[in-house]
Amino acid sequence: MVEMIRKSSTDEIVNHLILAGSCILLMLTGFGFLFHVDAIGSVFGGFNTMKTVHNWLGIAFALSLLYSLHHYLIESLEYDADDLQWFKVAGGYLSHKVKVPPMGKYNPGQKLYYLAVVAFGFAIIISGIGLWFFQDNRTVMLLSHIIHNVSFVVLVIAVPVHMYLGTLANPGTLQIMVNGMMPLKDARKKHPKWIKAIGKM
Amino acid sequence: MTNDTTKKRKAILVTPENCIGCRACQVACKSWNQLDPIKTKNNGTYQNPPDLAGTAFNIIQFSEVPSQIDPVRWLFLSRRCMHCDDAGCMTICPSPGALFRTPEGAVAFDHKKCIGCKLCSSACPFDVPRYGADGKMSKCNLCADRIAADMTPSCVKTCPTGALKFGDRDELISAAQKEGFKTIYGEKDLGGLGTIYAFKDEPKLYGMLENPTIPTSVVFWHTYLKPLSLIGLGGVVAAAAIHYLAIGPHKEEEKEEEV
Ligand code: HEM
Ligand code: SF4
Ligand code: SF4
């Protein structure tokens, strides 16, 4: 039996599921509104219901994003020399020959991804609240509308990149967000600094 | 709008100079569209109701402009949706079919399809959209139902002085110009308005908006952000496919997990 190590707690996995699920549905319904896609509207029995669903999914997304802060925020704010070097070799994604520096629990790409999700996630949430509750204030509406859509463009690019990297580009990674485990052998290779820190090297 | 529809585009021509402020148009509109009355207070002006409302699709806007030669000058301006060719409300509306263009070029609405988001009122240069008790958008639709049955809009039908006229937009404009009105407000603005005004004075005097435009952020969103979201998503999918085929996923031996 391969010895496994836990990388994500159940808490993290469940929260990620809510975050990812709500985010993807929000983007789907968002595209429905943006491009008047009747096929998406009819899934919800019309645009009126889709609007209600979109609003409440936003609440789910907001709560899970808030909750995720205690999982990832501190770690995602810490960078060292190896992280800098990681960018120089593009994380090893553009060539399999380069030597990727030793990483901690998360690589700087993931950390920056988290910060982007936090920044644009909260921007899209707050502007969403503006569009929902300040309908009679033209300035708030126009400002919220543009912030909501700029954030949408960023997220609609960043999230699929994350999805690709978390699945096809890194075989075996997906299970970290399913059962939370990864082989200890792999973790020693990929996250030596993390494994050292928890004394399993 | 394409050229062939522009040809038969209908319009209301308002000639404020001929308006006597009788407000028969307000009453006719209420009656045809079965709009509930609004309780208003006397606030020291002839204007009543004070503003457009979900149950007041047109109003006579009243302004007093006393001058030395004319110490008592009252101006009456019939206001309603402008039925813009380039309509901000239609551009921003997220619900297909909630706002739609009639064959005559008017901007009409469908209560059932409106989701009550009220974005239209923030994108309208003329502050027209209002909302009913149900939160759904509610405004002049150029009596689309009457026009479809070969009748004129009810406000025009009732106007006793000819201050409101309805017909082919091009014909209305050239007739007004022949009558000596220097300014046809809305002839070119926003691709041409469907409610146009014939003035001899400066339109500003009557409280008309100079150079009406759709808010810059709405135009920016429509021209750049919308396409960018699709291009962005498509780009990621394409880039991921190319990366997967050309460089490939991390391999077992030299694997460095990155997500
Ligand atoms: C179906 C789509 C998704 C899949 C398959 C997926 C997969 C994964 C996986 C495998 C991890 C663990 C990475 C590791 O521990 O090294 C992860 C982490 C994470 N995911 Fe997702 N994810 C998806 C959607 C999303 C969405 C929509 C969001 C947020 C908007 C999101 C936010 C995060 C965050 C913040 C982390 C923490 C670590 C990091 O920054 O990468 N995920 N995801
Ligand atoms: S005046 Fe306002 S509501 Fe009427 S068509 Fe123009 S943008 Fe739309
Ligand atoms: S309130 Fe109704 S008509 Fe106005 S933008 Fe929203 S869905 Fe469209």
Phi, psi at B197, each rounded to 5° = -125, 135
Per-residue confidence at A2, pLDDT binned at 50, 70, 90? confident
C-alpha distance from B178 to closest chain A C-alpha (Å): 40
Tell me what pLDDT residue B257 has. 47
Tell me what pLDDT residue B87 has. 98
Task: Please enumerate in sequence order all residues whose Cβ is within 8 A of that of A132, keeping only pairs 6 or more positions apart, or say none.
Answer: A55, A58
Domain A10-170 fold is: Fumarate Reductase Cytochrome B subunit (1.20.950)
Asked if A36 contacts B92 with a C-beta cutoff of 8 angstroms, the reply is no
Bond before A101 cis per omega within 30 degrees: no
**What's the number of CA atoms in the CB half-sphere (13 Å) around residue A174?**
7
With 90 as the cut, is the pLDDT of residue A74 above it? yes
The interface predicted TM-score of the complex, written ipTM, equals: 0.92
What is the average per-residue pLDDT within A86-110?
94
Q: Which of B95, B123, B247 sits opposite A47 (nearest CB)?
A: B95
Phi, psi at B35, each rounded to 5° = -100, 135
Tell me what pLDDT residue B67 has. 85
Tell me what pLDDT residue B44 has. 86
Tell me what pLDDT residue B253 has. 56
Give the domain ranges of chain A: 10-170
A10-34 and A138-166 are packed helices; what angle lies between their axes, rounded to 10 degrees?
Answer: 120
Alpha carbon nearest to ligand 1 atom 10, residue: A174
C-alpha distance from B249 to closest chain A C-alpha (Å): 4
Rounded-to-integer distance, Cα B232 and Cα B228, Å: 6
Between chains, do A47 and B94 touch, taking CB under 8 Å as contact?
Answer: yes
Ligand 2 pocket member B12 (CB < 6 A): no
Between chains, do B237 and A160 touch, taking CB under 8 Å as contact?
Answer: yes
Report the candidate in B153, B149, B104 with the shortest Cα–Cα distance to residue B6. B104
**What angle (nearest 5°) sits at the alpha carbon of residue A173, between those of residues A172 and A179?**
90
DSSP calls for B174-243: HHHHHTT-SEEETSSGGG--SEEEEESS-GGGGTPPSS----HHHHHIIIIIHHHHHHHHHHHHHHHHHH
Going from the first residue of chain B to its last (259 residues), give the mean pLDDT of each consecutive group of 10, the final group possibly shorter.
Answer: 61 97 97 94 89 96 90 94 98 98 96 97 98 96 95 98 97 96 96 97 94 97 98 98 94 53
With 70 as the cut, is the pLDDT of residue A175 above it? yes
Residue of B nearest to A114 (CA): B259
**What angle (nearest 5°) sits at the alpha carbon of residue A31, between those of residues A26 and A37?**
125
Which residue carries 């699920």 as its tokens? Answer: A21
Report the candidate in A67, A41, A183, A192 with the shortest Cα–Cα distance to residue A121. A67
Which residues of A, range 62-121, sit inside 8 Å of B by Cβ?
A: 91-96, 100, 103, 106-107, 109-110
Give residue A155 CA to ligand 2 midpoint distance, Å: 32
Q: CATH number for B10-206: choose from 3.30.470.20, 1.10.357.10, 3.30.70.20, 3.10.50.40.
A: 3.30.70.20
